[in-house]
């Protein structure tokens, strides 16, 4: 994640999750840079001092509220995600070997990432994500916000990172005209 472009979260328990504070360089995080957020209403429960939670907290909350096995979410901004999200809705991922990292095999599993409109009201993006995930109970473990970036999740931080890196690889292929 370049500079301050992105955020990380991990489920604390059935009622809350930890998310990075807004505006921090991800290469320099420490435990004081995370805030615990209530799943029910998005309130800050602890941590962060006078810092605010990441702007994309509503998206993380939507994922935890709909994907019961999700224990970690990673969000990053990349050139490839911006390019892939332009003019595509959804983003159909190429069926190359790397797609297996998302749990996709040649069994008819969908290979399309939903694309959500980007605008300043991130809470409404979070609501759109939550509605989509409730209506699509077995999505790929990632999504894109148009002209913004990818969010990926998993049952562990390692799995979320694997999903994130796989999607970024596949988006790089698309950006290069594959």
The whole-number average pLDDT for the span 82-99 is: 90
Q: Is 148 annotated as a binding residue?
A: no
Beta bridge partners, 74, equal 8, 152
pLDDT given for residue 131 in this prediction: 97
Q: Which residues contact 94 (CB under 8 A, 6 or more apart)?
A: 170, 173, 174, 178
Domains of the chain and CATH, by start = 6-175 (3.40.225.10)
Contact 129, 59 (CB under 8 A): yes
Return the HEC string of 20-83.
Answer: EECCCCHHHCCHHHEEEEECCCCCEEEECCCCCECCCHHHHHHHHHHCCCCCEEEEECCHHHHH
Q: Do 84 and 41 touch, CB atoms closer than 8 A?
A: no
Calpha distance 73→133 (Å, rounded): 14
Statement: the pTM of the whole predicted model exceeds 0.85: yes
Mean pLDDT within 114-143 = 94
Annotation-wise, does 60 bind a ligand? Answer: no
Report d(CA 25, CA 5) in Å as an integer. 8
Statement: residue 130 has pLDDT above 80: yes
Give 28 or 90, the one with higher predicted confidence: 90
What average pLDDT does range 23-47 have in this prediction? Answer: 90
Once rounded to an integer, what is the mean pLDDT over residues 51-77? 95
CA angle 36, 150, 71 (to 5 degrees): 40
pLDDT (0 to 100) of residue 108:
67
Cα 117 to Cα 146: distance, rounded to the nearest angstrom = 5
What mean pLDDT, rounded, does the chain reach? 91
């Amino acid at each position: 994640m370049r500079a301050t472009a992105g955020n990380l979260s991990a489920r604390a328990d059935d009622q809350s999750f930890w998310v990075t504070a807004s505006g921090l360089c991800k290469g320099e995080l420490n435990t004081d840079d995370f805030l615990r957020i209530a799943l029910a209403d998005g309130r800050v429960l602890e941590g962060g001092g006078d810092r605010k939670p990441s702007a994309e907290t509503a998206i993380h909350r939507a994922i935890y509220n709909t994907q019961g096995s999700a224990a970690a979410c990673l969000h990053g901004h990349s050139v490839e995600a911006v390019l892939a999200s332009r003019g595509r809705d959804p983003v159909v991922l190429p069926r190359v070997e790397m797609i297996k990292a998302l749990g996709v095999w040649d069994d008819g599993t969908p290979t399309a990432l939903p694309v959500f409109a980007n605008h300043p009201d991130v809470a409404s993006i979070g609501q759109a994500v939550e509605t989509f995930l409730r209506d699509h109970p077995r999505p790929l473990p990632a999504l894109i916000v148009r002209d913004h970036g990818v969010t990926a999740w998993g049952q562990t931080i390692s799995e979320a990172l694997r999903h994130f890196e796989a999607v970024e690889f596949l988006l790089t292929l698309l950006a290069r005209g594959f």
